[in-house]
Structure 1
Amino acid sequence: MNIRRNSERLFDWANFGIMLIICFLTIYPIWYVLINSFNEGTDAMRGGIYWLPRVFTIENYTTVFSNNGLMTAFGITVAKTLLGTALHVFFTAMVAYALSRRELIGRKAYLMIGTITMFFSGGLIPTYLLLRDLGLLDTFAVYILPAMFSFFDLIIFMTFFREIPYGLEEAAKIDGANDFGIFVRVIIPVSMPVVATIALFHGVYQWNDYFAGVIYINKTDLQPIQTYLYRIIALSGSNQIASSVPNVVEKTVTSQSVKLATMVIATLPIVFVYPFLQKYFVKGFMIGSMKE
């Protein structure tokens, strides 16, 4: 018994050590970017900053927030994340609710077609040509309309909806509610765990998406902050940002420090939102995976 207890204790300590290392490797790169974004750019070029800022400053962030183009990009990202997530959740849930009803005519065919789209797609060029012909290029709608539906998210919604007692719908029908009224007033309120799960999924996607801005948008005033950050890193656009505040740049701010500050601004909002949705995230997946 003692040998068994010792082996279990050793296993627990080994697990603890491994998880501690994984957590450190995950968190430290974020911490490194954060502390360097609060350090003077010219001083940071010397290197050797690992745990805390050596010469603390907020001039990097002052430079970033003084740039009108970046603040416009930040506003576009917030708008497309909020609007895109709300429409995606509502539209996908509505289609999932319809397909979860076994009496729907052609239900199996719709599910088969949708399943095929999970593994095969038309590709980038046909998608670009389609959006061009629809007149969505260089418009805000290109962020919203193509992402309003996801068959993967539909499957999660359907799994959850099938577990809702049918008696709730019957009671609503007796009270005179139609199908849309049942969906809005009954199904959605009792499905908040899975709604929060899908909202978190799609919200993170909308916030982090830079590809749509690179491929479908040429107007700089419609680019999201992730595309703006991409251009800073890939196209050396940080020099243009830094030059927007010359009286500051010539002293302490460098293009690298501006990059780091922009990365923090682009990352932290979605990181702060996640803890508030985490309990719904876990609950939504657990309920959706259980079978009676």
Structure 2
Amino acid sequence: MIRASFNDKLLSFFVYFCLTVLGFVTLYPFWNAAVISFNEGTDTTLGGITFWPREFTLANYQVVLKDDRLVSAFIISILRTAIGTVLSILATAIFAYGMASKELVGRKFYMVFCIITMYFSGGLIPYYLLIRDLGLMDTFWVMVIPGLISVWNMIIFRTFFLGLPIGLTESAKIDGCSHWGIFLRIVLPLSGPVVATLSLFTAIGHWNDWFGPGLYISNADLLPIQTKLQQILNSNLMSQQMSNMDSAAAGHMQNMKTITTKSLTMATMMVATVPIIIVYPFVQKYFVKGVLIGSMKE
């Protein structure tokens, strides 16, 4: 058995110490926001709320979940994330399969053209005019269609497809299988780790995006929860929410006076953040395997 030297032990201690500090700095703001959301608002204003609620309450979440606007925004976010992720992964994988095909004439030119779009764009104003001319303004699909193809994800898919044994596709072609059959029956089922990893990255992008809907959507009923949250943090929308609560909802709260704008904001933030965090553990095991397989070719 080889014993670790003093320098190795010191290095390990330093690495673990840095990781511990980094983990604390990363997780504590989220934990503190959760604590404040479960604490009475008036008590929170006194300060001193750090690691545990001092006056536990669910009143903040009751107010948030009784607001039809926030519930509608939450549903929009779920639909956008689910539909957008499925269509984006499917469209990107199809695009990558075509780019990986040796039968594609000029594929090197197309690849360079795609890479250029990763670094250069026409700018926000031309993009806004394009969205308007396509008739996507103020529609649900403005959050889905413009982001269907990701060049970065396409490159990962393409590299993975190029690493598959060529005998699989050639034997399928000999048996009379079409490109669609090869893609759907052979290539895509073998791409499980890559699909799972890129699906999570895409879903997180859809769930956290607030800028696009705020720019292209004026109908409040189509705004996702993140855009609503951004509006709450930058305006007095939460104060209006509290003042506009009907008497029935207020009567349901015995401690309505203990709720403040900050406590409601933190509760809304948790409602908007926790769902996508819950998904992470289910696909975590695919991260390293999926990204490495999609980024290396023997």
TM normalised by structure 2 equals 0.94
Measure the CA separation in 2 of the matches of 1:260 and 1:158: 42
Measure the CA separation in 2 of the matches of 1:220 and 1:100: 42
Q: CA deviation at 1:160?
A: 0.5
Q: 1:1-292 counterparts in 2 under 5 A?
A: 5-243=5-243, 244=245, 245-247=249-251, 248=253, 250-292=256-298
Specify the code of the residue in structure 2 equivalent to 1:261: A
Q: CA deviation at 1:9?
A: 1.0
Measure the CA separation in 1 of the matches of 2:4 and 2:223: 60
Q: CA deviation at 1:241?
A: 2.3
Measure the CA separation in 1 of the matches of 2:101 and 2:160: 12
Measure the CA separation in 1 of the matches of 2:287 and 2:4: 37
Q: Is the 8 A contact 2:139 2:222 kept in 1?
A: yes
Measure the CA separation in 1 of the matches of 2:108 and 2:297: 21
Secondary structure, in 3 states, of the residue corresponding to 1:289? coil
Secondary structure, in 3 states, of the residue corresponding to 1:235? coil
What fraction of aligned residue pairs are identical, expressed as a percent?
47
Q: Is the 8 A contact 2:143 2:212 kept in 1?
A: yes
Farther off after superposition, 272-281 or 50-59: 272-281
Farther off after superposition, 256-265 or 100-109: 100-109
Q: Which runs of 5+ in 2 are unaligned?
A: none
Secondary structure, in 3 states, of the residue corresponding to 1:28? helix
Deviations 1:76-121 (A, max 9, x none): 0000000000000000000100000122012122112111101100
Specify the code of the residue in structure 1 equivalent to 2:267: A
Measure the CA separation in 1 of the matches of 2:4 and 2:209: 50
Q: CA deviation at 1:152?
A: 1.1
Q: CA deviation at 1:285?
A: 1.2
Measure the CA separation in 2 of the matches of 1:240 and 1:189: 50
Q: Is the 8 A contact 2:76 2:223 kept in 1?
A: yes
Q: Which runs of 5+ in 1 are unaligned?
A: none
Specify the code of the residue in structure 1 equivalent to 2:281: P
Q: CA deviation at 1:128?
A: 0.7
Q: Is the 8 A contact 2:59 2:259 kept in 1?
A: yes
Secondary structure, in 3 states, of the residue corresponding to 1:191? helix
Specify the code of the residue in structure 2 equivalent to 1:279: K
TM normalised by structure 1 equals 0.96
Q: Is the 8 A contact 2:160 2:293 kept in 1?
A: yes
Q: Is the 8 A contact 1:200 1:281 kept in 2?
A: no
Q: CA deviation at 1:168?
A: 1.2
Measure the CA separation in 2 of the matches of 1:290 and 1:141: 34
Residues paired across the two proteins, number: 291
Measure the CA separation in 2 of the matches of 1:290 and 1:113: 22
Measure the CA separation in 1 of the matches of 2:156 and 2:117: 16
Specify the code of the residue in structure 2 equivalent to 1:39: N
Secondary structure, in 3 states, of the residue corresponding to 1:121? coil
Q: CA RMSD in A?
A: 1.5
Q: CA deviation at 1:250?
A: 4.3
Measure the CA separation in 1 of the matches of 2:35 and 2:256: 21
